[in-house]
Amino acid sequence: MAFNPFEMAQKQFDRVADQLNLSSSIRALLREPMREYAFTLPIRMDDGSMRVFKGYRVQHNDGRGPCKGGIRFAPNETIDTVRALATWMTWKCAVVDIPLGGGKGGIDCDTHELSMTEQERLCRAWVRALSSEVGPVQDVPAPDMNTRGYHMIWMLDEYEAIHRGKFPGFITGKPVGSGGSLGRTEATGYGVICTLNEACKTLGIDITKTRASIQGFGNVAYYACERYLKLGGKLICVSCWDNADKKSYCFKRESGVDIVELKKITNEHGEIDKVAAKGLGYEILPGDAWLEQDVDILVPAALENQINAETVNKIGKNVKIIAEGANGPTTPEADEVIKARGIYVIPDFLCNAGGVTCSYFEQVQCNMNYFWEKDEVLSKLDQKMSAAYHAVHQMHVDKGVYMRDAAYMIAIDRVAKACVARGWAMN
Ligand code: GLU
State how many domains the chain has. 2
CATH number at residue 257: 3.40.50.720
Contact 37, 106 (CB under 8 A): no
Q: Beginning with the edge strand found earlier in the chain, give each strand of the sheet holding 102-108 in spatial order.
A: 35-44, 50-61, 102-108, 67-74, 139-143
CA atoms within 13 A on the CB side of 28: 8
Cβ–ligand 1 distance for 142 under 6 Å, the answer yes
Residue 406 covered by a domain = no
What does the longest C-alpha to C-alpha distance in the chain come to?
A: 63
* Same domain? 91 vs 39: yes
Domain boundary among 327, 351, 375: 351
Dist. CA 114 → ligand 1 center (Å): 23
Cβ–ligand 1 distance for 65 under 6 Å, the answer no
* Same domain? 324 vs 195: yes
Cβ–ligand 1 distance for 106 under 6 Å, the answer no
Cβ–ligand 1 distance for 327 under 6 Å, the answer yes
Contact 379, 358 (CB under 8 A): no
Question: In degrees, to the nearest 5, what angle opens at C-alpha 298 toward C-alphas 297 and 302?
Answer: 150
Residues 104, 174, 234, 384: which is the catalytic one? 104
* Same domain? 202 vs 114: no
Instruction: Compute how many other C-beta atoms are within 10 angstroms of the C-beta atom of residue 378.
Output: 21
Res 2: pLDDT: 83
* Same domain? 73 vs 111: yes
Cβ–ligand 1 distance for 69 under 6 Å, the answer yes
How does residue 15 score in pLDDT terms, banded at 50, 70 and 90?
very high
Instruction: Compute how many other C-beta atoms are within 10 angstroms of the C-beta atom of residue 203.
Output: 11
* Same domain? 126 vs 264: no
Kind and range of the H or E element at 285?
strand 283-286
How does residue 404 score in pLDDT terms, banded at 50, 70 and 90?
very high
* Same domain? 124 vs 227: no
* Ligand 1 pocket test target in 58, 62, 64, 89 with most atoms within 8 Å of CB: 89
Strand partners, 59: 35, 103
Residue 410 covered by a domain = no
Model confidence pLDDT, tens digit, residues 350-394: 999 999 999 999 999 999 999 999 999 999 999 999 999 999 999
Model confidence pLDDT, tens digit, residues 162-220: 999 999 999 999 999 999 999 999 999 999 999 999 999 999 999 999 999 999 999 99
Model confidence pLDDT, tens digit, residues 232-247: 999 999 999 999 999 9
Dist. CA 423 → ligand 1 center (Å): 28
Residue 304 covered by a domain = yes
* Same domain? 301 vs 165: no
Residue 110 covered by a domain = yes
Find, among 203, 147, 149, the residue nearest to 345 by Cα. Answer: 203
Model confidence pLDDT, tens digit, residues 100-111: 999 999 999 999
Residue 361 covered by a domain = no
Contact 84, 328 (CB under 8 A): yes
Whether 247 sits among the annotated catalytic residues: the reply is no
* Same domain? 195 vs 340: yes
Residue 386 covered by a domain = no
How far is Cα 154 from Cα 136, in angstroms, rounded to an integer?
16
Residue 298 domain boundaries? 185-351
How does residue 290 score in pLDDT terms, banded at 50, 70 and 90?
very high
Residue 382 covered by a domain = no
Residue 43 covered by a domain = yes
Res 1: pLDDT: 64
Model confidence pLDDT, tens digit, residues 239-289: 999 999 999 999 999 999 999 999 999 999 999 999 999 999 999 999 999
* Same domain? 204 vs 240: yes
* Mean residue pLDDT across the chain: 97
* Ligand 1 pocket test target in 92, 348, 356 with most atoms within 8 Å of CB: 356
* Same domain? 90 vs 117: yes
Cβ–ligand 1 distance for 57 under 6 Å, the answer no
Find, among 391, 427, 386, 387, the residue nearest to 406 by Cα. Answer: 391
Find, among 391, 314, 407, the residue nearest to 90 by Cα. Answer: 407
Domain boundary among 307, 335, 351: 351
Domain boundary among 351, 378, 402: 351
* Same domain? 41 vs 159: yes
* Same domain? 163 vs 216: no
Dist. CA 189 → ligand 1 center (Å): 12
Model confidence pLDDT, tens digit, residues 48-78: 999 999 999 999 999 999 999 999 999 999 9
CATH number at residue 117: 3.40.50.10860
